[in-house]
Amino acid sequence: MIEVRGLSKSFGQLKALDNVDITVNKGSVYGLLGPNGAGKTTLIKHLVGVYRQDAGSVTIDGQPVYENMAVKSFLVYIPDELFFFSEYSIAETARFYASLYPGWDWERFHRLKQVFAIDIDRRISRLSRGMQKQVAFWLGICASPRVMILDEPVDGLDPVMRKKVWSLVLQDVAERETTVLVSSHNLRELEDVCDYIGILHNGKILVEKDLDDLKTDIHKLQVAFAGEAPRELPSTGTILHREQNGSIVLMVVKGDKENILSEVRRASPVILDVLPLTLEEIFIYELGGIGYDIKSVLI
Ligand SMILES: Nc1ncnc2c1ncn2[C@@H]1O[C@H](COP(=O)(O)OP(=O)(O)OP(=O)(O)O)[C@@H](O)[C@H]1O
């Protein structure tokens, strides 16, 4: 479990992180989302013990992270800018990882040759950027970490490899309860893999949400009436968005679905459809309501 409380960090006059709190539960995948310069990498560098915080605390499984080798022995970090020893092949780097990580799994390393299909005697620095990313995942997964911290992890991977890599990571989340924090600019990228999303903007967490709750709590309804559409409908729940075109009303309502639907049905609509909502729409409606132009934060 990752717990960040009241974390602040400044670089000179610039407050890169301002009183950030996040919690990543064991065995869950947390998506850290935010535009360029939001502070994602700075937060991640605290989670992996590269930066010491100005204020607040950063713990993993109850232990402070900074300068703590015990935590690093079960934590894998795949940064946006990868680092490998320039002279080392994949096999040599694997031996190096095996010496660092008590949970290193050689059997898995050899099994995953089929997935990654790169000659293990090749020097990593000579591989393409996407292939280097693949190697980072290959080695990272074989370290059997309890915690994985991934910064823009699938950038540079082709779509087939993205799927394969995510399926390996999610398999570990399901089978070994690995805790994963993943940063991205792209909500759509995170939608299928995350249990929680935190949105970071100007060094602050704007919102932290459980995706299951979000999806069950907000509903998009398209309703048509034979005559005039009642203006005040529904009074159950909170209307986040409403647009009307003649007798057809499109609305996004937050609240208990069954209560909302039964109230709308009582007004005898000729059509009542519940439409699917993407996660992006949910965030736009939910945060738009509290005064943020979320479209400028998400892509
Ligand atoms: N070592 C540093 N020295 C000075 N300023 C820094 C340093 N690292 C980050 N910053 C500043 O802190 C802010 C947050 O940067 P950070 O790299 O954490 O953002 P990010 O969300 O990861 O952005 P991106 O999506 O572009 O990678 C930026 O304004 C950046 O210029």
Q: For residue 128, how far is its CA from the centre of ligand 1 (angstroms)?
A: 26
- Supply the residue whose CA is at minimum distance from atom 28 of ligand 1: 37
Residues facing 143 on adjacent strands: none
User: Is residue 80 included in any domain, yes or no?
Assistant: yes
Res 241: pLDDT: 86
CATH of the domain at 36: 3.40.50.300
Q: What is the C-alpha separation between 162 and 189, in angstroms, rounded?
A: 10
Boundary of a domain, candidates 202, 223, 252: 202
Model pTM score? 0.84
Q: Are residues 227 and 179 in the same domain?
A: no
Substitution site in 40, 47, 51 for ligand 1 pocket (most atoms within 8 Å of beta carbon):
40
Do 197 and 282 belong together in one domain? no
- Residues 125, 245, single domain; the answer is no
Same domain, 155 and 233: no
Residues 40 and 130 in one domain: yes
Which residue has its alpha carbon closest to ligand 1 atom 3? 11
Taking the CA of residue 34 as reference, the ligand 1 atom at the shortest distance is 21
Is 8 domain-assigned?
A: yes
Same domain as 229, residue 195? no
Q: Cα-Cα-Cα-Cα dihedral of 216, 217, 218, 219, to 10°?
A: 60
pLDDT per position in the chain (299 positions), as tens?
999 999 999 999 999 999 999 999 999 999 998 888 889 999 999 999 999 999 999 999 999 999 888 899 999 999 988 888 888 999 999 999 999 999 999 999 999 999 998 999 999 999 999 999 999 999 999 999 999 999 988 888 888 999 999 999 999 999 999 999 999 877 777 888 999 999 888 899 988 888 887 778 889 999 998 877 777 777 888 888 888 888 889 999 988 999 999 988 988 899 999 998 887 887 777 766 555 555 555 54
Domain assignment of residue 53, yes or no: yes
Judge if 193 and 128 occupy the same domain: yes
Residues 129 and 191 in one domain: yes
* Ligand 1 and 299: CB distance under 6 A: no
Question: How many domains is the chain built from?
Answer: 2
Asked if residue 224 and residue 197 are part of one domain, the reply reads no
- Ligand 1 pocket, 40 CB below 6 A? yes
The reply to whether 92 falls in a domain is: yes
Whether ligand 1 lies within 6 angstroms of the CB of 39 is answered as yes
Judgement on whether residues 189 and 286 belong to the same structural domain of the protein: no
Q: Is residue 208 part of a domain?
A: no
Residues 22 and 48 in one domain: yes
Residue having the nearest C-alpha atom to atom 30 of ligand 1: 37
Nearest Cα residue to atom 7 of ligand 1: 11
Residue range of the domain that includes 110: 2-202
Residue 292: per-residue pLDDT: 57
Closest C-alpha to ligand 1, atom 29: 37
pLDDT value of residue 212: 81
CATH number for the domain harbouring residue 238: 3.30.70
Q: Which residue puts its alpha carbon closest to atom 24 of ligand 1? A: 36
In a domain, 207, yes or no: no
Choosing from 168, 202, 236, the residue where a domain stops is 202
- Atom of ligand 1 at shortest distance to CA of 43? 18
CA of 34 from ligand 1 middle (Å) equals: 12
- Whether 13 maps to a domain, the answer reads yes
Q: How close is the Cα of 155 to the center of ligand 1, in Å?
A: 18
The residue out of 175, 202, 229 marking a domain boundary is 202
Residue 269 lies in a domain: yes
Q: How many CB atoms lie within 10 A of CB 81?
A: 7
| Helix orientation angle between 129-142 and 159-176, rounded to the nearest 10 degrees | 10
Whether residue 188 sits in one domain with residue 232: no
